[in-house]
Amino acid sequence: MAKKVLKFGGTSVGTIDRILHVAQIIKREFDADHQIIAIVSAMSGETDSLLKKSKSISNNFNPRELDVLLTSGEQVTSALLAGALIEIGVKSKSWQNWQIPILTEGENSNARIINMNVSKIEKYLSEKGVAIIPGFQGISKNGDITTIGRGGSDATAVAVAKIFDAETCEIYTDVDGVYSSDPNKIPVAKKIEKISYDEMLELSSLGAKVMQSSAVQTAMMYNIPLEVKSTFTNRKGTKIFDQQNIDYTKSVTGVAYSKDDAKITLVGVQDKPGVAASIFEPLSKKQINVDMVIQNISSDHKTTDITFTIKRNDLLKTLQTIKENKDIHYNNLSHDEKVSKISIVGAGMVSTPGVTFKMFKSLARENINILAISTSEIKISVIISENDTLKAVKKLHNAFDLD
């Protein structure tokens, strides 16, 4: 008897008909003599609707109360799915975060799961019951409801798979696997049958929306096999495994992009030890995540230009923080919020020379100007004008034979 964790995203449970369909999927797995823990997201659009309601009251809605509000979406789905299973003859029960409990630490809206009590649910599973758990949430040591970031239901599913020692964790969504690029924008994108944790982590952190990056990271740390599959078809999904499953024969596995970035440049910063720390420490304290950083030293070695990227919705807060920072001096501050990040990812880059040249040459042929560059062992990212996003993705997809 295998223990399975099945996670269903917002589109999978977006309507009552879809919830009834998900109940049938769970019943099929249950009838195959598997112990099932289902993790559910809020119905598609529900979290945004709740967020909009909070903003109608205040743009600085109390963080604690916001977490209480936003977690209600997953609780609704939990009850509806449990009720649907009971209706078709499957013993089922929904468990709220405080009933288990799911213990978290960290700030509101950005907490992380550290442990959960398994005894009640293990007992229920042994009694031939299906447990339904809301994703995206937990409870702090002070008894406050917390959330673990947008897309956090993936992280809940992986944590549950680890803590309950499940054989597999299956992520059900509206696509039948991980694709070489966004199939909605690039119709010739193809499904990847197998991908390594490392490649999936890069793709998810670079803009691919299939899985939350922190969930992939947790799965990689504890070697939890993942499979991304469609709620709406019976086609095979994409299996995400450890390093041994990397395909080194292909230099590039996928092309990812994100259009929620902004670029900031500080010109004429004094070039001395500790300046970079003085710039980025206040940003860290404001919970602003800095991505790419490029530094160019002047010919006289007295000043330097520092360019870095952040998420677009942090732009105003970042500019204000820099202007209020009395520890740094610069000649000019500029920013560009109409940029996007394009990335190629592939384990084969390690053993394939010329990948960087091929990428830059392909973009040059389309007259696409590169504003910033960042590399790792299996990834190359560039910042370009937002208007060139789709053209760049299509060109790179074709250049690396991913069509």
Q: Is the pTM for the entire model greater than 0.95?
A: no
pLDDT of residue 333: 94
Question: From residue 12, how far is each of 21, 110, 141, 177, 340 by CA, in Å?
Answer: 9, 24, 32, 14, 29
Q: For residue 227, what are the β-bridge partners?
A: 170, 239
Report whether pLDDT(97) > 90.
yes
pLDDT of residue 260: 86
pLDDT of residue 246: 60
Percent of the chain with pLDDT over 90: 64
Second-level CATH architecture of 255-399: 2-Layer Sandwich (3.30)
For the chain, the domains span: 3-174, 255-399
| Banded model confidence at residue 299, pLDDT cuts 50, 70, 90 | low
Total Cβ atoms within 10 A of residue 224 = 24
- Asked whether the beta carbons of 51 and 70 are under 8 A apart, the reply is yes
| Banded model confidence at residue 381, pLDDT cuts 50, 70, 90 | very high
Q: d(Cα 349, Cα 255) in Å, to the nearest integer?
A: 13
pLDDT of residue 346: 87
Q: d(Cα 104, Cα 100) in Å, to the nearest integer?
A: 12
Q: What is the pLDDT of residues 198-216, one digit of tens each?
A: 888 888 877 667 788 888 8
Average pLDDT for residues 30-55, to the nearest whole number? 96
**What CATH class is the domain 3-174?**
alpha beta
Report whether pLDDT(145) > 80.
yes
Average pLDDT for residues 169-173, to the nearest whole number? 95
